[in-house]
Chains A and B, each alone.
Chain A
Amino acid sequence: MGYDPENPMQGRITDIGPPHYEQYFPPVIKENYGKWKYHEITQPGVLKHVSETGAECYTARIACARLISIELIRDYCKVADDHCEGFLRWTTRNNVEFMVDSEAKLQPLLDDLAKHGMMPVGGTGAGLTNVVHTQGWVHCHTPATDASGVVKAVMDELFDYFTSMTLPAQVRIALACCLNMCGAVHCSDIAILGVHRKPPLIDNDVISAVCELPLAVASCPLGAIKPAKGINTKGEEVKSVTVKEERCMFCGNCYTMCPAMPLADPEGDGIAILVGGKISNRISGPKFSKMVIPFLPNTPPRWPETVDAVKNILEVYAKDANKYERLGDWAERIGWEKFFEKCNIPFSDKCIDDYRLAYDTWRTTTQFKYTSHIK
């Protein structure tokens, strides 16, 4: 019995939620849950966790392109069946992890990963780990750039930093293909962000049919959109909107609300680079990434301007920063004026914030002291 379109509600199951995680634990994880004592990175891409019980878990971490086929997942499963008792996991940064319970089982696992060709081991410690990214032109309707192609081009060039641990601290690169930032690049060491630079078109042939005009007007955070009469291609007057172009900051929120207001454009769209963000509370609190390059063109298939810009920033940082110093901490220590100078990046008025002041006096970190105020 399966789904019956004639009786769609018959036998229907809903709201069962995800499967319980424990059934997918390798035995060494299940047996030592909550008992882990310490860990070491024994070589780039390999973690060793030691339990209070003396048990050991060796993890080999590999890069995954995130956009992957079921054929590749089946290859991962073959490795996990051959070496890891049929279990594997993904990290939050799109890496795949294979776990074994003894050092003796590690090398055969690494040998098999090396044979495959699409399973590079790395992404640990003071190196470059995998890129968090979005869909881009592969499967999204609002992108200002591609995602998978840019990531491939950047990581091909920076590959040696993925398989080694030679940087002052970990470096997190993320890519979001528009300002919606599904990839949440706003707190990354190096953020690659798709941006628009032309105001929305207004398609008067369809706007009154496909858009709730008040919602389109309300969608603009700067009040640049006003109700107005428009003329369609038949010469008829229709209810529409106008955009005060000098007020547009190209966020694209109007297009999200109204399909008759597209922004995408081959010359208008491209990439901005933001740097110095971080998520962890280590030493300093979390930081936003700051815009240092407002625009680079879309140049598929390999985006050389973007690749060069990212590589340059990474390598200047690698040479100049202190041990344990994240990119943003380094930039703040030397000062942003020195950052621009050392990286040889021209500063422009585009890097000076003229949007809203955020709530910069509120605490956004877990760093605080337990005083008598906390009861």
Chain B
Amino acid sequence: MPKHDTPLLDQLESGPWPSFVTDLKRQAETKDECWDILGQLELSYKDKVTHWKHGGIVGVFGYGGGIIGRYSDVPDKFPGVAHFHTVRLNQPSSKFYSTDILLRICEMWERRGSGMTNFHGSTGDMVLLGTSTPQLEEIFWEATHDLKMDLGGSGGNLRTPSCCIGKARCEWSCYDTQAACYDITMTYQDELHRPAFPYKFKTKFSGCPNDCVAAGVRSDFSVIGNWRDDIRIDQAEVQEYIKGNSPPNAGAHAGRDWGAFDIQKEVIDLCPTNCMTMAGNDLKIDNSECTRCMHCINVMPKALRPGTDTGACILIGAKAPILDGAQMSTMIFPFVKMVPGEGDPPEGGFEDYKELLEKTWDWWMEEGKNRERIGESIQRIGLPTFLQIMEVEPIPQHVQEPRSNPYVFWKSEEVPGGFERDVKAYRARHAM
């Protein structure tokens, strides 16, 4: 029986999109606190403000993150959600699950929590939504002992890394994103669980420039697959697209009549560098001009494939707006080989990546201000200084265009004679 009337929320039960209200009501049949979630949310719909209090520090021994305290500001009305903390569980790479492990998580969360979850949180964790303080150590015990799972990140630490589907089910992945995500997560468990950074730090792994996990715009240390040799072409398959036997863009546009496929209009003319031509029946690509945007490959996946000399481009500094405005990551390392290690836990893998990551951390942990994302630290000191610190030779690829103002920070040692000058000698030549 419903514990609270929810006339506003009830209006979200109709319509074709899955209804979280219907789902919550069903869960409330066995988990009574779900009625209080509904009741408090209904009050928010009426008041047009939240009824959750500000934070509260809770956690498990030895960890500085992974659990977020949450308390109702109307606990008398909704005692079932008076204490309603969040538990972040580190997801497996690419979010594949067996039903066995999911059902065991459900069973644990039925006993020890509200039964409600987020699959998944924005950073990638499984989010178990709503439990009380005495349950936290019990949950951690069961997670680590029985489920063989661990908490994810929160606070000023390495946040739970995440990756695209990669080689598991995609033909374009330029390195093993799942192995990378797993290796880096395992290698930096201490950085993930014990906040020691100025602020949060995210790293994400996408296999190609399509960037399905949004590494370039949603992570501080963005790893995006790339190649440096030639796009592979199967000319016979190109003909199949031209003849209309293969659907362009893998059939992505099949719902509307866009007319017959026109390779000139849909591929060659849309290439941002105009590096493609038809020579008779053959498609030619001037690979030295290609910026690997993936458009042609996306349109003709049977005919074109990324090259085979593959690795990743590393960009640094993306973040959401607070405080200095949203930033995208800036391209720092154009090409890094991403070689997986051996064994479990893996050893000897992704060494180039780890070296660059640790060098970045070493500087940022020293110089970053409290609650300053690394992208903001780089903005504060300037890209040239950051490149010097990282011992990276500046190249035109680091900028969209050269600076348009003349304010160069010359250093004393860069100017003949340095900055030391004698004003008296100057004045002897130039009267005031």
Contact = CB atoms under 8 A, between A and B. Distances in A.
A23 interface: yes
Given A363-B399, A363-B400, A20 B102 contact: no
Contacts of B36: none
B119 interface: yes
Interface centre among A284, A358, A371 (most CB of B within 10 A): A358
B280 to A, nearest CB: 24
The 10 closest A-B pairs by CB, nearest first: A125-B252, A156-B15, A373-B395, A181-B320, A259-B54, A367-B291, A69-B27, A3-B141, A165-B255, A21-B93
B171 A36 contact: yes
A125 B251 contact: yes
A184 B334 contact: no
A13 B96 contact: no
B381 to A, nearest CB: 12
10 contacts: A21-B93, A64-B119, A69-B26, A70-B27, A139-B70, A186-B217, A266-B47, A284-B272, A362-B330, A369-B397
Interface stretch (B162-170, B353-361, B409-417, B420-428): B162-170
Contacts of B323: 221, 251, 253
Contacts of A26: 96
A301 interface: yes
A185 to B, nearest CB: 8
Nearest to B100: A86
B337 interface: no
Interface of A: 2-3, 5, 8-9, 11-21, 23-26, 29, 33-34, 36-42, 44, 49, 57, 59, 63-74, 76-77, 80-81, 86-92, 94, 96, 99, 118-120, 124-127, 132, 134-143, 146, 148-149, 151-153, 155-156, 159, 162, 164-167, 170, 176, 179-184, 186-187, 218-219, 221, 251-253, 255-256, 259, 264-266, 269, 279-284, 286, 288, 298, 300-302, 323-324, 355-356, 358-371, 373-375
B217 A64 contact: no
B397 A363 contact: yes
A283 B293 contact: yes
A137 B63 CA distance: 28
A16 B150 contact: yes
A374 to B, nearest CB: 5
Contacts of A187: 214, 217-218, 326, 328
A362 B383 contact: yes
Nearest to B52: A141
Contacts of B321: 179-181, 186, 251
Contacts of B18: 63-65, 118-120
A15 B193 contact: yes
A363 B186 CA distance: 31
Contacts of B165: 89, 91
A364 B150 contact: no
A219 B44 CA distance: 27
A40 B251 contact: yes
B344 A69 contact: no
A18 to B, nearest CB: 4
Contacts of A118: 18-19, 22-23
B197 interface: no
A76 B98 CA distance: 11
Nearest to B116: A69
B418 interface: no
A282 B52 contact: no
A266 B255 contact: no
Contacts, number: 472
B49 A39 contact: no
Nearest to A373: B395
B254 A165 contact: yes
B45 A301 contact: yes
Interface in B94-130: 94-103, 105-106, 109-110, 115-120, 122, 124, 129-130
Contact of A323 (B20, B98, B266): B266
Given A71-B26, A126-B249, A369-B289, A279 B176 contact: no
B388 to A, nearest CB: 15
Given A89-B95, A152-B17, 19 more contacts: A18-B149, A18-B182, A68-B23, A70-B115, A77-B99, A132-B122, A136-B50, A146-B41, A159-B15, A182-B320, A280-B209, A283-B295, A301-B12, A363-B399, A364-B328, A367-B272, A368-B397, A369-B397, A370-B228
A89 B315 contact: no
Contacts of A68: 20, 23, 116-119
A364 B63 CA distance: 35
B35 interface: no
B8 interface: yes
B103 A44 contact: no
A139 B26 CA distance: 19
B136 to A, nearest CB: 10
Given A363-B331, A366-B209, A302 B24 contact: no
Contact of B90 (A17, A49, A138): A17
A152 B313 CA distance: 37
Interface in B307-335: 313, 315, 320-331, 334-335
B16 interface: yes
A20 B251 contact: no
A324 B216 CA distance: 21
Contacts of A67: 20, 23-24, 116-118, 129
Contacts of A265: 49
A54 to B, nearest CB: 14
B93 A15 contact: no
A138 B9 contact: no
B137 A8 contact: yes
B320 A186 contact: yes
A216 to B, nearest CB: 12
A24 B98 contact: yes
Contacts of A256: 322
A96 B102 CA distance: 13
